[in-house]
Amino acid sequence: MNVTNNQLSGFRTRIELEMSNLSQRTNSIRHELLQTAEVQPTVLRDGLDHAKEETDINARLDLNERDLGHTAHLHSALDKITLGTYGCCERCKKTIDMRRMTAQPAAALCVGCQTRAEKARKLEQPTRELPRGSLFNRSFAHE
């Protein structure tokens, strides 16, 4: 990839800043979850409060998991900058378009390979069946 040292420096700065922001958010979520774990057993709640709290905790855990995965991608991008392979598609080895790198500095795949990977992932995902009697399974045709 024909990237200048100045451009690489800019990408490195953006990636490091994003990693710092993710680290702060991850630490904040971890702190919130620990506080919830300490308070939860001592507070009696009705069923709806408990369900809402559980949903909130699961949402925080999902966000934290996503952030940790993104942090790993950012680390990989920094390693590639150091190794001189930044901007090279991991699959086809072609140069990743500069517009994509600007939009997604941690992009590991070119647009074509990313599109194929997403299509393959969708095909691998099992389809969920809706519960019997679900609103979405009902016919709205007049009988």
pLDDT tens-digit map of 63-113: 888 999 999 999 999 999 999 999 999 999 999 999 999 999 999 999 999
pTM exceeds 0.75 for this model = no
| Gap between the Cα atoms of 61 and 15, Å rounded | 23
| 1, 86 contact by CB (below 8 A) | yes
pLDDT tens-digit map of 132-141: 654 544 444 4
Query: Under DSSP, is residue 108 helix (H, G, I), strand (E, B) or coil?
Result: coil
pLDDT tens-digit map of 24-73: 999 988 888 887 766 655 454 566 677 777 888 888 888 888 999 999 99
Q: Is 15 exposed, middle or buried (0-12, 13-18, 19+ CB in 10 A)?
A: buried
